[in-house]
Structure 1
């Protein structure tokens, strides 16, 4: 099937889409992105994704004429690719635009806006059986709350996980768990769900937010606090959460078992409630 993409106001075949070699996304990773999942054609937590997109744009001072129009753009993109009734994803990337290479933000640029649609089924085996993860030092920059396209540290660390036969890499900064390379990290100890508080050190994950809302609605106690790598190994349950990961149990960390190496009771409840929502 010929894939249709969206680029700067046009829907066109992927093979005809091109950007300037002077685009600052290419030269400096000067841009942001967002990923939204559609379940049977319906976007999940669309306002939250748009709010995060708007915040990222504001933080890096990229002006693209607002974000409300993307709802129609994404709907048409799904239709063009015959994905409007399936589980699908939208990837959106906005860079500052093209300009001769300079180290400041050039004024009055037209941003480069690119979006693509893709099939996005759930990773059923991971959800059911759980995954093994590794831990590594968090080598990323100090504004992880911005959904930046500057993902080289993330990809380097995730590649180490793949080479180790693991499904994710949990990141450790100054001895404390932050998040994973493309997921939030939550843990359960004595029935309490624990996760790193929102700060510049983690992305404000949409699925993380949903999990905390589920806990609040069902009287499951939560703590938003930093916890150490040593505590991580002592948790009863560990969860990787994200738009693609959904709510994935962790059963081993660096080959050390988590609990009884099976998805725990709280994790299963969160999964069931989450999928009832979507």
Structure 2
């Protein structure tokens, strides 16, 4: 049987969502996947002599160190019949306080958390104010005034299907750099700037590099059309810096 659930996590204390390997061996670095599989294996049969985590999980997508999630989707297979409400309660009791699971349900064997996903919604939030506040936490703080209208005009150039090679990281493994951006919007909420981007797929560090390019436009008072120039160049050196992961959240995955 195959089960799927949503995972919420605060990524600050983890080296990303995926288990880390070096020379074919797990590094032992804390990850979201590692904690989930350890907890699942405790509930579904425990450890074996040959495998510390007999339950294997598949995530809808990879998130980096420091990235949060409200809607990561994960599936796993087991021959055990699971009562959702009791299982979710027990799983959350075992998991660390910065990881929780919701909405467990049995799914068809054809369902695949990553391959079946139709769109993903990311949100990046940062502070736009000169003075530091203690409750800003790890959010990035930009001291100069942000022109929301210009930022939105720049985001509009990203909508539709494009080759996003200019926004890829060296860690991008998929040879295809074409993504379809369904929606890209920004707004001011008090002294915070919130950027929402929804697309069918995202390259490694793509959202953070888009934000870095937006800040380059704002910081250097460039026209919003600079975003189109960067996009058309298909050259990573033309885009802005990859900003900090703090403030980035995977909000939702739709199927």
Q: Same fold (TM over 0.5)?
A: no
Question: Of the two structures, which has the highest relative contact order with CA contacts closer than 8 Å and spacing of 6 or more?
Answer: 2
Q: TM-score, normalised by structure 1?
A: 0.26
Q: TM-score, normalised by structure 2?
A: 0.28
